[in-house]
Structure 1
Amino acid sequence: MKIALVAAVASLALAGTANASDLKSCAVPISVTPSPSEVPPPNEIHTDVPIAAYLLALYWSPEACRAGIPESDKAIQCQANSFGFTVHGLWPNGPDRVHPRYCRPSPPMSPATVKANLCMTPSPWLLQHEWQAHGTCQWDTPEAYFKKARKIREKLNVPDLDPGADGIMTAGEVRKAFIDRNGKLSPEGLNVRVKDGRLTEVWVCMDLKFKWAACRGGNGAPDMAVVKVTPKRG
């Protein structure tokens, strides 16, 4: 069954483009169905962990589509559009390895809220999950949570990675692509995530004032690590 789509002109935060002046079309469904409320695993509910830092997690969307991860939406993310980095989520983090999560239950989001954020996070399921798992630990509404995520995303000049014909980059080259476009970022503030030798995400770390900061949990793959980078569709 084909999904009906419309093209919505979106800015940097929504379309995932490299520069704020580069407006891009993002095809989104004419109507959307919000995902049901998530039933969190009891061992993942952490309502009393203090917030010590934040990070913005960015999926490398071509790899999410190649791997068919459950978080991606095949029709919106992988067929109707060709994204580079998309927003996985904005995460309040705790002082150690336990982080605030699922701080309160939440009903499904409104269709309007889902649709408004699909070009930033192109998955109704993931939008619901991120709000429940992370947003409820600080923000009063999903609209306020995603507004903050968009604002942070707007601060970033996010690169579209070009791994070349061999599809290979080093983790250091991935970091440099971000740093070259964002003068206040440092290598210590980027956590390059790799799974089975493939780039999956880049985490951009912040302090309690949402300023770029060194990552508290390490920086992922070392600079010299050779990484397979799934190219964007043409």
Structure 2
Amino acid sequence: MRIPFALAALTLLLGACTVSTGAEPEPTQVAGAVCDVPDDLRPARPYRIPQDEVAADVAVAFNMLAVSWSPQACRSGKDYPDARYQCAANQFGLTLHGLWPNGADNKHPRYCAAPGPAIAVETVRRHFCMIPSPSLQQHEWAAHGTCGWDSPEAYFAQAAKMWDGLNKPDLEAIPTQRLTAGAIRDAFVAANPGFPRDGVFIATTDGWFREARLCYSRDYRPMRCPRGLGAPDRERLKLAPKGVQQDAQRGVQTTG
């Protein structure tokens, strides 16, 4: 029996990241890849807040949804990749770096309240396929989530709502010789009709695509990025291949 195309498409859209409680992790389709939630996944330990980064009194002007290219994080060792989880068992493509409240100027709200204890293991597992790094989850809640939400669960629920509503473009389909910041920007807009082209900020590292930061209003509507678009359209970029691994930089905290 043939399944109607519309029904098949709806089935794919309703696929969600599930948690396996048995001996074998249950594979889940996530943005064109298979996501296995590790049985031994545990929350990261809370860390000491860097006092020189605290900016609790900055008003939120808009939000950014930072969508990372996971192979670049694995290649560079930046953006909190837990190599054991993010770079070995799974071959992720686009993953979520975080949901960031932004200020009107160059100063942004960060570390607005004490983050409290480690994130509940159920929350870490629920959102692993979106943010496949317990240490990144802990950081994003502490640095950004405390600036707008009362709990990790509320913060990640909002991030997941935006993540699930975003169509993820197939960046590997862009020919290497045509891979530019503009081509990646166009890919996000083509996959999400109505999203403003000037609402896609492209972040790079030494000529490699790092992430797309999508701008949203305070009530989470797509909008123009107020402070530029990052890499110019013409800038040629490289895309790290999937399967690249690097030893975890355990205990290292970076900004994001």
TM-score (norm 2): 0.81
Partner of 1:78: 87
Partner of 1:205: 215
Higher mean C-alpha displacement, 113-122 vs 161-170: 161-170
**1:82 Cα deviation (Å)?**
1.0
- Specify every segment of 5 or more residues in structure 1 that has no aligned partner in the other structure, as ranges: 19-23
Partner of 2:48: 39
Which aligned segments of 4 or more residues in structure 1 are displaced greater than 6 angstroms? none
SS class of match (2:204): strand
Counterpart selection for 2:190 from 180, 184, 189: 180
Mapped partners of 1:78, 1:168: distance in 2: 27
Mapped partners of 2:111, 2:57: distance in 1: 10
Q: Which amino acid aligns with 1:84?
A: G
Are 1:49 and 2:58 counterparts? yes
**1:73 Cα deviation (Å)?**
1.2
Mapped partners of 2:23, 2:203: distance in 1: 32
Higher strand share: 1
- Deviation by residue 1:134-171 (Cα, 9 ceiling, x = unmatched): 00111111011001001001111011211667476111
**1:25 Cα deviation (Å)?**
3.5
Partner of 2:113: 104
| Contact preservation (8 Å) 1:197, 1:227 | yes
Partner of 2:37: 28
Higher mean C-alpha displacement, 99-108 vs 69-78: 69-78
Q: Which amino acid aligns with 2:166?
A: L
SS class of match (1:82): coil
| Contact preservation (8 Å) 1:188, 1:215 | yes
**1:28 Cα deviation (Å)?**
1.8
- Deviation by residue 1:99-127 (Cα, 9 ceiling, x = unmatched): 11111112111111111111100100000
Partner of 2:74: 65
Q: Which amino acid aligns with 1:194?
A: T
SS class of match (2:59): coil
| Contact preservation (8 Å) 1:35, 1:128 | yes
**1:38 Cα deviation (Å)?**
2.1
Partner of 2:235: 225
Larger radius of gyration, structure 1 or 2? 2
Q: Which amino acid aligns with 2:197?
A: P
Q: Which amino acid aligns with 2:190?
A: D
Aligned residues: 222
Mapped partners of 1:66, 1:168: distance in 2: 22
| Contact preservation (8 Å) 2:34, 2:91 | no
Mapped partners of 1:164, 1:52: distance in 2: 34
After superposition, the Cα gap between the structure-2 partners of 1:143 and 1:6, relative to the gap in structure 1 and judged at 3 Å, is farther
SS class of match (1:126): helix
Mapped partners of 2:44, 2:177: distance in 1: 35
Mapped partners of 2:231, 2:61: distance in 1: 23
Tell me the C-alpha RMSD between the 2 structures: 2.1
| Contact preservation (8 Å) 1:109, 1:142 | yes
Partner of 1:94: 103
Q: Which amino acid aligns with 1:33?
A: R
| Contact preservation (8 Å) 1:47, 1:101 | yes
TM-score (norm 1): 0.88
Partner of 1:195: 205
Higher mean C-alpha displacement, 164-173 vs 187-196: 164-173
**1:212 Cα deviation (Å)?**
0.4
SS class of match (2:179): strand
SS class of match (1:210): coil
After superposition, the Cα gap between the structure-2 partners of 1:5 and 1:145, relative to the gap in structure 1 and judged at 3 Å, is farther
